[in-house]
Amino acid sequence: MKTIRKIDFYGQLILGFAMLASIPFLFLYGFLLGLFFLGCWQLISASLNTITFIRFGFKKKIIIYWIWTAVVLFVLLICFRATRLFNSDLADIVVTISLGVSVIIAVYYFYIYYKLIDQIEFKNELSGFLKS
């Protein structure tokens, strides 16, 4: 499982760098498309790894991730559904802020996921040391 987690982490990291590298060529469209795919990938990864996060002592950090993710998704849903009720400019501002916060959430997930992988490697190394 450690190898799969590393592949998952580095795949997300490569997508993040590709997302940033696409800005000069595709402007914000490539960045936003990459952010959409990265967000979907991180949601799947976090849902599959939540139990592992909790087991290795990252319960508070993964709960913070899920709370902020739920808040951003809820705000985006409200903005897309209620654009007729609100001023279009106000909805654009709220969506832009939500997308900025989602970038911060993606970086936060990279951080806690890297810490989890490091913790798992340390535990495996320590258990191998204790067996010998």
User: For position 131, what pLDDT does the model report?
Assistant: 67
Q: How far apart are CA 30 and CA 22, in angstroms?
A: 6
Q: Please give the structure tokens belonging to residue 38.
A: 């990265």
Q: How far apart are CA 74 and CA 7, in angstroms?
A: 30
Q: How far apart are CA 31 and CA 24, in angstroms?
A: 10
* Least confidently predicted of 34-43, 44-53, 76-85, 123-132: 123-132
Question: Rounded mean pLDDT of the chain?
Answer: 91
Mean pLDDT (whole number) for 30-52: 95
Collapsing DSSP to helix, strand or coil, 57 comes out as coil
Nearest to 73 by CA among 95, 51, 47, 88: 95
Residue 84 is classified by DSSP as: T
pTM over 0.75: yes
The number of helices, as runs of H, and strands, as runs of E, in the chain is 4, 0
Neighbours of 113 (CB within 10 A): 24
Per-residue model confidence as pLDDT tens digits over 89-130: 777 888 899 999 999 999 999 999 999 999 999 988 887 767
The label of the residue with tokens 């209620």 reads 82
